Structure 1
Amino acid sequence: MLYNKNKNLKGKKGLNLKIEEWNEENFEEKLKKLDIDSDFLKLPIKESKEKLKGLKEKLFDYSDIITELLDNNFITSISEIFSYDNLKDDYRHDLISEMGIRVCPYCQRNYITNYINEKGDRTTADLDHFYPKSLYPYLALSLYNFIPSCQICNSRFKGSKDTYDKIINPYKNSFDDKGVKFETSETLIENILGTDIEFNIRFKNHDNVIDTIKMFGLDKVYKTSHNAYIRNMLENIEKSPNKYIENLGDNIFSELTSEERNEVIRSFKEIVKEPYKHRIEEGEPLGKLTKDILDEFGIDI
């Protein structure tokens, strides 16, 4: 979970209206089919749909108690009321598009791309239920339970595992909030050529941080996939400007003072760093990894 908290995750007013529109069309019809004997739920349902919506939010806090009290038939019925499967595909795609999330908030490695084809708006992302709809059916249509994510994180790593009070919720915290940092060995800058780069994910002992890293395999996928990226980045910034000047030849720089030559090198470094600066500022994939490693070696961006 290498994201920063993103205001776009809070959704858009128009999307809320679409969800409400769907609710208006389906709540009354579904509720008529329920055979509810419990006074615990009968009164709010009879009084108004507004109270039912409030009840949906409260159900999560009492999920363990509710599961014990209610039979399987009722759970099935409540699942039908808040059924995500009945939400139109266009609404799903509109939701992801309007959120404006461009990178998977779980791994921060893969782009989320929206596009248009003959069927309309489409996306490369999954719309993950942070709290699995199989375990928390009353949250299946909660806007704040929807997390656009890459298919690898959603389908291969997270799946339908219970996340309640276990992993970091992108709506609430980021890894930066928890003090999580990528770091390398202290001697890396001296041995930047010809060696594999070793780096670790350093964090304070927060259980949900550990569980998040384990659930999405972040320590493994980062260590095995991005050594070359780190090496190339540091080589480009630390060595490329000097090599470039050497390749231009002494004739061009022969009349420059040492101070002027260093200024030219510094200017080249700023040019070389620009793509990495853009990656960090725009929240591109590997943005946190880039920032943490550059910070470690005192390379200003």
Structure 2
Amino acid sequence: MISLKSENRDLESLSNLFYKRIKDKIELKIEDNKAVLNTFVTDKTNKPFGDFLEKEIKDLITLSLDDLIIKFKDELHDLCENNYQTINKKYTPFKKALNSVLFYEAQYSWKAYQTAIEIDVNTCVYCNRTYITTVGDDSKKFVRGDFDHFMPKSTYPYLRFSFFNLIPCCVICNRNAKKAKETSIENNIYPYKEGFDNNTVFTFLPNNYKDIIGKGKPVVDFLFLGTDEHNKKAKKNIKLFRLKEQYSIHSQELNDIINKRRVFSDSYLKDLQNSYPKLLNNFEDAYLLAFGKEFDLVKDENRPLSKLTRDIADELGIIKNKYD
């Protein structure tokens, strides 16, 4: 689990840019559907829903998920639960109108490729196993990652177009593992707020001698070093995204790290840096040369398996002299 919080990523500006791109169209959609939506009223203040959307739409798109829940859940939850339905394979008028206003499925209109480029994360936020680098653009589509609704749009349809509810991820995590299963800020690691960081780390469990010498199939597992709250959330995410199973296919990569420990001395990376000072400016450069992965936690999003590699290398003592 990678955190999308980064000093190099201005999330507030990105959410406003996202809204600016859809502002004119979404306002027209509200106007077109207002008559239908105004036949429904909000839960607490009994405001016509179309008028309410017209006033609050920017916040619905751009506010952080915490703020959205505080501001809108009591006002909209029952309204949507009671009316956002499919009956006899047909959308109710409410569902049809709300989907028209929050036109997530029309991804060409809100430029999903451009949004992925702006968020600029190269690996799946949920698993850090798979590249989700965007190739192409909205006019010449080729490949990009999925966007998962962290709080599912089937349960929270008013969040179906909220920027901070859209998580860039891989197809496996989104469509095969998570699907429409419900997650929440209270119960799960939420990538716009936190990641596994150094509170949940990879470890490996050797079953035999071959596993110890890097020629077997050691089991990937996790250590939980954070608060009780963080550990509970992390365990739920590991189960939900089947991370132990997903990482079980990477026994060869794990063996490579174990084999490097057998070859490297404790000071190998520092010696490598000292031997090539013009090529390797710092410890991170030496680590990248040796492992082909990122050393800095905040750069895990750049290369798959960076966290696995660093955590196991740290456990084996390969990088224990990094601060000497």
Same fold flag (TM > 0.5): yes
| Cα shift at 1:71 | 7.1
- The runs of 5 or more residues in structure 2 that have no matched partner are 62-67, 86-91, 277-282
Aligned to 2:188: 167
TM-score by length of 2: 0.72
Question: Contact conserved, 2:37 with 2:50, CA < 8 A, in 1?
Answer: no
Matched to 1:285, the amino acid is P
Question: Contact conserved, 1:9 with 1:99, CA < 8 A, in 2?
Answer: no
Q: Specify which of 148, 158, 163 is matched with residue 128 of structure 1.
A: 148
Q: Specify which of 225, 231, 236 is matched with residue 211 of structure 1.
A: 236
Of the structure 1 ranges 88-97 and 60-69, higher mean CA displacement relative to structure 2 is found in 60-69
Q: Secondary structure at the match of 1:199?
A: strand
Residue correspondences, number? 279
Aligned to 2:255: 231
The CA deviation string for residues 252-277 of structure 1, in whole angstroms up to 9 with x for no partner, is: xxxxxxxxxx9689859x88743336
Inter-CA distance 45–185: structure 2 relative to 1 (3 Å threshold): closer
Matched to 1:28, the amino acid is E
Partners of 1:274 and 1:52 lie apart in 2 by: 45
2:195 matched to 1:182?
no
Partners of 2:238 and 2:272 lie apart in 1 by: 42
Partners of 1:264 and 1:55 lie apart in 2 by: 52
Q: Secondary structure at the match of 1:147?
A: strand
Aligned to 2:54: 49
Inter-CA distance 111–75: structure 2 relative to 1 (3 Å threshold): same
Of the structure 1 ranges 289-298 and 71-80, higher mean CA displacement relative to structure 2 is found in 71-80
Inter-CA distance 235–9: structure 2 relative to 1 (3 Å threshold): farther
Q: CA RMSD in A?
A: 3.7
| Cα shift at 1:112 | 1.1
Aligned to 2:279: none
Q: Secondary structure at the match of 2:47?
A: helix
Partners of 2:135 and 2:256 lie apart in 1 by: 31
Of the structure 1 ranges 232-241 and 95-104, higher mean CA displacement relative to structure 2 is found in 232-241
Inter-CA distance 239–163: structure 2 relative to 1 (3 Å threshold): same
Aligned to 2:311: 292
Of the structure 1 ranges 180-189 and 93-102, higher mean CA displacement relative to structure 2 is found in 180-189
Question: Contact conserved, 2:150 with 2:166, CA < 8 A, in 1?
Answer: yes
Inter-CA distance 169–193: structure 2 relative to 1 (3 Å threshold): closer
Q: Where do 1:95-110 residues align within 5 Å?
A: 95-110=115-130
Identity of aligned residues (%): 25
Partners of 2:238 and 2:263 lie apart in 1 by: 33
Larger radius of gyration: 1
Matched to 1:83, the amino acid is F
Matched to 2:190, the amino acid is N
Partners of 1:227 and 1:59 lie apart in 2 by: 46
Inter-CA distance 145–110: structure 2 relative to 1 (3 Å threshold): same
Partners of 1:116 and 1:76 lie apart in 2 by: 31
Q: Specify which of 16, 19, 22 is matched with residue 19 of structure 1.
A: 22
Q: Secondary structure at the match of 1:4?
A: coil
| Cα shift at 1:210 | 1.8
The CA deviation string for residues 24-78 of structure 1, in whole angstroms up to 9 with x for no partner, is: 2211112133352537343575478233544784333555543466575434433
Question: Contact conserved, 1:97 with 1:114, CA < 8 A, in 2?
Answer: yes
Matched to 1:294, the amino acid is A
